[in-house]
Structures are given as C-alpha cells and as structure tokens.
Amino acid sequence: MPKDDFFVALTECHFMNPQTMSEIDYYPDVQKWWASVDGVMRAWAGRDLTSPDAEWPHPIASELIKYMDEAGVDVTYCLREPMMDVTGGVVSLSTNGFMLQQIEPYPDRMYLEANCGPIIKRGLEHAIWELEYLVKERGAKLCKVYAPEDDGPINDKRLWPFYEKACELGVPLTIHTGVSYVSPQPNTKCHPVQLDDVCLAFPELKVIAYHAGWPYTEELIGLCGKHPNLYLSLSGIIGWYERSPYRGYHAIGTALQWMAADKIVLGLDLPFDDTKRVVDYIRNLEMPEELQKNWGYAEVTKEDKAKILGLNLARLTGIEPTKRV
C-alpha cells in the first residue's frame, strides 16, 4: 500500500467557542488554565501559545478542514472543550450543540465525539439522556469521559450506569488517562490503573485510553495486553513523540510487544497546524535496527501503519475507511 493511500482518522480535535472565550477572559482560573496549556504545549508542540505574538489556527471547523486536507486526513472526530471549573461552573468552553453546528458543513469528514460531562456533577440522568440523544439522533460516533473536572475518578461506581448505557448504545468511550495536565484539576481521578476496574466490570465496553496514559504508559500498555476491549491512543502525546523520536520508538515498540497493531489509534489534541507533522510521523515510522536488536522491538510494517493511521478507528466507529482526500 503506497503511503499516500493510507486512510487517516484522528479523534480528539477540540473546538472552542470564540464568543464564549471572549466573555470569560477575566476569570482568574481561565488564566491559570491557559498557563497549564502552555506547559503541555511546550513539550508536545514546542511552542508557547500564551505569548503575545503566538500564532495558531482558531480552534473551529473551517480552520481544521484546511489542515486535514494538507495532511491527507480523511476523517476527524470533533470534541467540545468542557472545563466548566475554570469559571466556577458558569459555562463550558464549548458545547455539543456548538460542535454539531461546526461540523454540519463537512459531512463524512467530521463526526461528533460527544462529551456529556461532568457526568457525576451534572447528574447521571442528564448525562445519560444527552448521550443517548447524541448517538441515536445526531450520529455521535464516540463519547469522551473526562474525569479530572468531575466529582469522582474513572472507576467511581457512580459512573456505572453511564458505562452501561454506552454498552447498550455500542458507542466506544474515549477516556483521559495519565496526569491531569491543566489547573485546577487534580491527577487523582485519571490514573490508567483505574481502567482495570472498568474493563473487568464492562468487558464488552470499547475503551480508548488517551495520551498513552503518560507518565504511566507502561502500566496502560500492560492493561491493554490484559483487556481485549482496551485500546491505546497516541492523542496529544504523539506531538512529543515526533519532536523526540526515540521516546516514540520506545513507547510504540513496547506497545507492539504487548498488543497487536489493531489496538493502537491516533488522536490530535494539538493546534491544528501540527496535524501534518504528527500524521507523517506514523506514515514514515521506521523502527531503528539498533532498537530491534537491543530492545526486541518489531519492525513497524505498512499493515501496522494502516491500522494505526485509521483502519482501527473506522472499525471501532463503524464508518467506511475510504479515502476522502
């Protein structure tokens, strides 16, 4: 398969509502949140988004489509940015309704990745109603669980009815794992080991763990080897892997020792103009011979790349993996 013919799909493409963002600048926790975003972007993207002269694409659909076309990305799963805690619960940075308005002009290129949280804090009945509505009536293909802003961790049993509904609907859940990268949210609610309880209780639930669970990547990899329904996502952290390739070789090489390439997927969670460089990192990925010899890593085949770049997500979300661009 020629590399330019790979079907490519990315989850976790965040949009923010410009009107809302303009209205909440004065909240102190909004400024703290941006400072935290700057910290992670320094590692993942090598840039400071908070500096006065920083330039990056507006996080809206009309900007994303340009970079999808440039990078040869066929499909994205687009996700609201919640973070209601930065305004003390007044407003989220974007809503599922905003996302639906944004992606409407791009059918078959952009799909909704819902976020119905904070699930416990808002009330299970409301979150479950919205999840069912968005999947059945508005075509949502995924739903994210973001525990750091909620009232309990990933394995809080108060979430069990929500997970049961996701199983009933057949919608995979994407779950933030690893550290909580932004203030004022704690790390205690999103450790990947908490997924063990979830996967044991719901073996039929498809779970996609974001950010390779960093810095607990090896724990997550071990769990992916244990649980057939648990998938590893390179969302966000792939930007760091591209900037420091050997970090990525070790993470991906280790993952492929514990699981088939069928269980690794891509995501973005980066400024949209980083799309091409991170997709090309996988397109052009070659495991160095020294690491194959000294660490026992396997060669990354074209079939592996095809699965990671998009075939796995197409299978999980029930879409056709045909080229759109």
| pLDDT tens digit sequence for 143-187 | 999 999 999 999 999 999 999 999 999 999 999 999 999 999 999
Domain count of the chain?
1
Predicted pLDDT at 5: 87
pTM of the entire structure?
0.97
Question: How far is residue 253's CA from residue 319's CA, in Å, rounded to a whole number?
Answer: 28
pLDDT, one tens digit for every residue, the chain (325 residues) = 344 589 999 999 999 999 999 999 999 999 999 999 999 999 999 988 777 788 889 999 999 999 999 999 999 999 999 999 999 999 999 999 999 999 999 999 999 999 999 999 999 999 999 999 999 999 999 999 999 999 999 999 999 999 999 999 999 999 999 999 999 999 999 999 999 999 999 999 999 999 999 999 999 999 999 999 999 999 999 999 999 999 999 999 999 999 999 999 999 999 999 999 999 999 999 999 999 999 999 999 999 999 999 999 999 999 999 999 9
Rounded to the nearest 5°, which phi and psi values hold at 173? -100, 130
In a domain, 162, yes or no: yes
In a domain, 302, yes or no: yes
Predicted pLDDT at 172: 98
In a domain, 35, yes or no: yes
Q: Which residues contact 299 (CB under 8 A, 6 or more apart)?
A: 286, 287, 292
In a domain, 284, yes or no: yes
Question: How far is residue 64's CA from residue 70's CA, in Å, rounded to a whole number?
Answer: 10
Rounded to the nearest 5°, which phi and psi values hold at 26? -80, -10
Distances (CA, A) of 179 to 46, 100, 149, 189, 300: 19, 29, 13, 9, 28
Is the torsion defined by CA of 46, 50, 52, 55 positive or negative? positive
Predicted pLDDT at 50: 74
Question: How far is residue 299's CA from residue 41's CA, in Å, rounded to a whole number?
Answer: 30
Question: How far is residue 180's CA from residue 149's CA, in Å, rounded to a whole number?
Answer: 9
Q: What pairing do the DSSP bridges indicate for beta strands 173-175 and 230-233? A: unpaired
Question: How far is residue 205's CA from residue 316's CA, in Å, rounded to a whole number?
Answer: 11
In a domain, 323, yes or no: no
Q: Give the CATH number of the domain where residue 282 resides.
A: 3.20.20.140
With a pLDDT cut of 70, the percent of the chain lying above it is 99
Q: Which residues contact 18 (CB under 8 A, 6 or more apart)?
A: 58, 60
In a domain, 62, yes or no: yes
Host H or E run for residue 79: strand 75-80
In a domain, 40, yes or no: yes
In a domain, 324, yes or no: no
Domain that holds residue 190: 3-317
Predicted pLDDT at 53: 81
Residue 310, both tokens: 């998009």
